[in-house]
Structure 1
Amino acid sequence: MIISRTPFRISFFGGGTDYPAWFRENGGAVLSTAIDKYCYISCRYLPQFFEHKYRIVYSKIENIKVIQDIEHPAVRAVLTWLKCDKGLEIHHDGDLPARSGLGSSSSFTVGLINAIMALSGKYISSAELADCAIHIEQNILKENVGSQDQIAVAYGGFNRVEFKTDGTYDVTSIILPPERKQMLESHLMLFFTGLSRLSSDVEKTKINNYKNREVELRKMAEMVNEAMDILNGPDRYMLEFGKLLDEGWRYKKSLSDMVSMPVIDQIYDAALKVGAIGGKILGAGGGGFLLLFAPPENQARVKEQLKDLIHVPIRFENSGSKIVLYQPSGLV
């Protein structure tokens, strides 16, 4: 039995510039962090006496004889790409719901690759994990996804990622004094809107609109460096981080009519009225989790104002995708 644990992530700035259609011509940059909420994938070789060869357990259960008949697209793609000819049982569990803007799809893909490679006795680095997941999602599944999620959850930590026109990227860890990092964490609030969506559908509308939004996308990439200046400045500048999130959210909404909707705008405006400084819908938009930046002294009012939503306390996470149980013989 192998169990991988892969974090979810929140993206602060630069989302949208991590799409190959954009950064291969213009370059791109994002600022994001992994958080202490996880996707767990357990994997073991399936004994031969079962009628089925593959058993996949997630929101549904699939008992399948051949890989091509697996309905879960990421599982089918990964098993095909890795040429998994031995019978497998795969279970998925997550701390937070899928399709919610926290990079859950990439956490699943990264975690599955990590688990299967470990089961076969192979170590795979964070860079290889990210690259493999990007290849699976973009080239095999042909999904409308960027490249930041796979990197964020494979590496873990609080990072600046720069995307280059030649298709490569650099990951730079953000080093902050512990008290400064804690100050940033203490200003962040995460709420589940209860709305889920297929991010690929939203992202497709953004990609189709890239040529008309070059000014906005360049500004969103520049915000990564602006955010770094704020984080490295005096404590009194911390509120500027929230104001920059608000500015970035307004640019993000301009990329597609599907990024927001009236109910999301109402929730966001209600939070600002009681003390939040800024925020954004995470991921593609259209629902999922709302990230808010609010001074600690205002957060009780924000929670009361948004009492119909689920508040999820979070902390930054540093380890990235890892194997938390390694018993390849299947014996406990």
Structure 2
Amino acid sequence: MIIAQTPFRMSFFGGGTDYEGFFKEHEGAVISTTFDKYCYTTIRHLPRFFDYSNEIVYGVMERTKSVDEIKHPAVRNIMKYLDMHELRVVYEADLPARSGLGTSSSFAVGLLNACYALKGKYADKRKLADDAIYIERVLCNEAGGIQDQIAASFGGFNRIDFRADGYTVSPIVFSTDRQKELNNRLMLFFTGFSRFSSDIAQSQIKATRDKTAELLEMKALVDDVQRLLVSGSDLNEFGRLLDYTWKLKRSITSDISNNDIDILYNKAIEAGALGGKLLGAGGGGFLLFYVEPEYQQNVRKVLEDLIYVPFEFENEGTRIMYYRPEYFDIKTMKEIL
């Protein structure tokens, strides 16, 4: 049995510039972090006492006789990609899926990590990120960027740069005290709305060519924010720039926000938040705000109908938290049967 723990991520600046159609022509960059909310992927070989060969549990339960019959696209494609057979896969998570935290990519990274471990093979963080990008963007043919897979694999508070020939992950080095101060001024709320990010991504991809100027400005903000974090500049500027980048992002396509989200956002700003954004591709999920300590109670009060989620930054990325490998030889098993 293998259990993989993989963090979720929050992207602060540069989201949208990690789409292949943009960064291959203009290059891209994001600033993001992983935090202490995780998905847990448990896998083991299924004992041969049942009339099915695979059991996949992720809110629903699938029991199939072949890998091709598995409906979950990531599970099906990862099992075929790594030549895995007769598995029991269980997905559990601290936070809901389709909520703007890169949950589907965290699951893909975690499942890949667990499958490699079950096969007795080591895969480093770049290998896991690259494989997850290939699984989701090529084999599953899902629209979107590539920052989520990288963040989930590497973990930490990073700047990620995207070029036509690859990507670079660079930890942003600033003092522990300053990082803690930033963490303490960020507030996370669940809107209760969920959506499929690939649907939002499709509309964003179509709009990219007409919104190049906005995306280039969002990319330029990554440099500004990195300088802000590593210097002694007023940290409140981080909040003001969050507000600015959110307004840029929501101008790309009408699918990114909606009237309900705008009302919630404006309530928080009026209560004292300096800025914020909807995490992920848009359309629903989690709202993140930068709020000075003296205004945080006001913001919680005006958003009392939403679930408030305290969190702390994390630095590990995906990891195997339980490792008990199993011997499995499908050829031998077929001969026995």
How would you bin the TM-score normalised by the shorter chain?
Answer: over 0.9
User: Partner residue of 1:38?
Assistant: 38
Q: Aligned partners of 1:33, 1:144: CA distance in 2, in Å?
A: 22
Aligned match of 1:279 in 255, 276, 280? 276
Question: Which letter does structure 1 place at the counterpart of 2:144?
Answer: V
Aligned amino acid, residue 244 of structure 2 = E
Which segments of structure 1 move beyond 6 Å, counting only runs of 4 or more?
Answer: none
Give the AA of the match of 1:35: F
Match of 1:289 among 286, 304, 312: 286
Counterpart amino acid of residue 95 in structure 2 = L
- Structure 2 stretches of 5 or more lacking a match? 328-337
Which residue in the other structure is 2:247 paired with? 250
Partner of 2:154: 155
Letter in 1 for 2:227: D
Look up the match of 1:270. 267
State the alpha-carbon separation in 1 of the partners of residues 200 and 55 from structure 2: 31
Aligned to 2:86: 87
Deviations 1:213-255 (A, max 9, x none): 01000000011111111112225x1000000000000000011
Alpha-carbon separation, structure 2, partners of 1:141 and 1:95: 25
Partner of 1:21: 21
Q: Can you list the C-alpha shifts for 1:81-109, whole angstroms capped at 9, x where unaligned?
A: 1111x311010000000000000000000
TM alignment of 1:158-197, pairs within 5 A = 158-166=157-165, 168-197=166-195
Q: Does 1:208 align with 2:202?
A: no
Letter in 2 for 1:157: G
TM-score, length-normalised on structure 1?
0.97
| Aligned equivalents of 1:208, 1:48: Cα separation in 2 | 48
Could you report, residue by residue, the CA deviation over 1:97-130 in whole angstroms, capped at 9, with x for unpaired residues?
A: 0000000000000000000110111111000000
Specify the code of the residue in structure 2 equivalent to 1:131: D
Is the 8 Å Cα contact of residues 118 and 326 (structure 2) preserved in structure 1? no
Matched, 1:327 2:331: no
1:226 matches 2:224: yes
Name the SS for the 1:213 alignment partner.
Answer: helix
Q: Equivalent residue of 2:37, what SS?
A: strand
Deviation (angstroms), 1:329: 3.6
Which residues of 2 match residues 53-202 of structure 1 at below 5 A? 53-84=53-84, 86-166=85-165, 168-202=166-200
Query: What code does the residue aligned with 2:291 have?
Result: A
Task: State which of 218, 223, 236 in structure 2 corresponds to 1:239.
Answer: 236
Q: What is the alpha-carbon distance in structure 2 between the residues aligned to residue 165 and residue 122 of structure 1?
A: 29
Per-residue deviation, 1:48: 1.6
Q: Deviations over 1:287-331 (max 9, x none)?
A: 00001000011101100110000000011010000000001149x
Return the TM-score normalized by structure 2. Answer: 0.96
Gaps of 5+ in 1: none
Q: How many residues align?
A: 327
- Contact 2:13–2:30 (8 Å) recurs in 1: yes
Aligned identity (percent) is 49
Cα distance in 2 for partners of 1:307, 1:123 equals 46
How much does 1:211 deviate? 0.9
Partners of 1:153 and 1:227 lie apart in 2 by 21
Cα 1:171/1:83, change in 2 over 3 Å:
same
